[in-house]
Structure 1
Amino acid sequence: MFIELIATVFAGLACAGIAMFLNTITGKRLPKWILPVAAGLGMLGMTISNEYTWFDRTAETLPEGITIAMTVDEQSWGRPWTQLWPYTKRFVAVDTATAQTNENLPDQRLADLYFFGRWSPVNLAAMLFDCTGGRSALLIDGATFATDGTVTDADWQQMPAGDPILKLVCET
């Protein structure tokens, strides 16, 4: 975030410098307000660019075996251009390389999910999926495994048909 702030400030300075150069070569005929407007437009442009390129930059750094399962695009009236071109603000990635199965329960999969957000820290959650039943259980406090591999005290939630996370986990 700090690097993006520095880049935004430098974009403003660069645009103001271009405006100063244009003002000089036109014999100082440009209005005085052109410098702050150019700086503001440069900073706004850099901010917009960072918003739209965040997902691609983050996705490129994911290690092998981590697959993006779902993205969440955002539109905001405070950013009117997003009404035409929404940008990806959040996404969920599944660690398919370390997903586990139990031979006693072949229709269940255990996988780690990573939740990424534009201005949020990455969150990790272990989740159990029932591929046949189309449901999932977040493995947090209270869920324990029996000796045969079944999970006790799991809070199973029905997932919508065609859920991209369930589909990805159950196909791998």
Structure 2
Amino acid sequence: MFFELIATFAVGIGAAGLALVLGHLSRGRLPRYAAPILAGIAMLIYAVWSEYTWANRTLSTLPESVEVVSEVKEARFWKPWTYVVPQVTRMMVLDRAGVQTNPTAPSILLADIYLFGRWAVPIKRPQLVDCANAARADVSEAALTDPSQAEWITVGAEDPVIKALCQT
């Protein structure tokens, strides 16, 4: 967040400098208040761009084996443009390369789910997935050795993780 604030100020300073150069080249025809106005507009445009591209920029740093299974798009009243085009503020990502099966329970999959949120630390949540019963469970030591010890939650076939793992 700190570096994004610095980048926003840098964009504003650059835009103000550009306005000053344009004012000099126009031999004073550009009003003096053009520099702070242009700086403010540039900083606002940069902030909006940064918010809307956050999810894609985050995904571009991840390996190709990951797949977005769920996105949360939100609109906020202090960002009126998000009512026109809501922005992605959270996403759930599945690491397909890390999906494993237990030889004693082949219908149950072990998958790493990553939860990303704007301005939040990413969270890794290993999940047991039972495709036959459309259920998920958080991984525990007991559940790894015996999946029947897991606290299963029936989520249904429409759950994004069940769809991604079981219906492909």
TM-score band w.r.t. shorter chain: 0.7 to 0.9
Query: How far, CA to CA, are the matches of 2:28 and 2:136 in structure 1?
Result: 67
Partner of 1:50: 50
* Residues 109 and 170 in structure 1, CA contact (< 8 A), matched pair in contact too: no
- Residue ranges of structure 2 left out of the alignment (5+ in a row): none
Deviation track 1:78-106 (CA, whole Å, cap 9, x = no partner) reads: 10111111121111111211211123322
**Relative to 1, partners in 2 of residues 1:135 and 1:42: Cα closer, same or farther, differing over 3 Å?**
same
Query: How far, CA to CA, are the matches of 2:58 and 2:51 in structure 1?
Result: 12
Query: How far, CA to CA, are the matches of 1:118 and 1:111 in structure 2?
Result: 23
**Which amino acid in 2 is paired with 1:80?**
P
Is the aligned partner of 1:150 residue 2:147?
A: yes
After TM superposition, the score normalised by the length of structure 2 is: 0.88
Query: How far, CA to CA, are the matches of 1:20 and 1:68 in structure 2?
Result: 44
Is the aligned partner of 1:165 residue 2:161?
A: yes
Equivalent runs, 1:18-57 vs 2, <5 Å? 18-57=18-57
Cα deviation, residue 146, structure 1: 7.6
Query: How far, CA to CA, are the matches of 1:160 and 1:74 in structure 2?
Result: 24
- Residue ranges of structure 1 left out of the alignment (5+ in a row): none
**Which amino acid in 2 is paired with 1:161?**
A
After TM superposition, the score normalised by the length of structure 1 is: 0.86
**How many residues are treated as equivalent by the alignment?**
168
Deviation track 1:98-127 (CA, whole Å, cap 9, x = no partner) reads: 211123322211111111111111111111
Cα deviation, residue 5, structure 1: 2.2
Q: Percent identity?
A: 38
Cα deviation, residue 150, structure 1: 2.6
Moved more, 121-130 or 66-75: 66-75
Give the 3-state SS of the residue equivalent to 2:122 in structure 1.
strand
**Which amino acid in 2 is paired with 1:150?**
P
Deviation track 1:3-24 (CA, whole Å, cap 9, x = no partner) reads: 3222211110111112212322
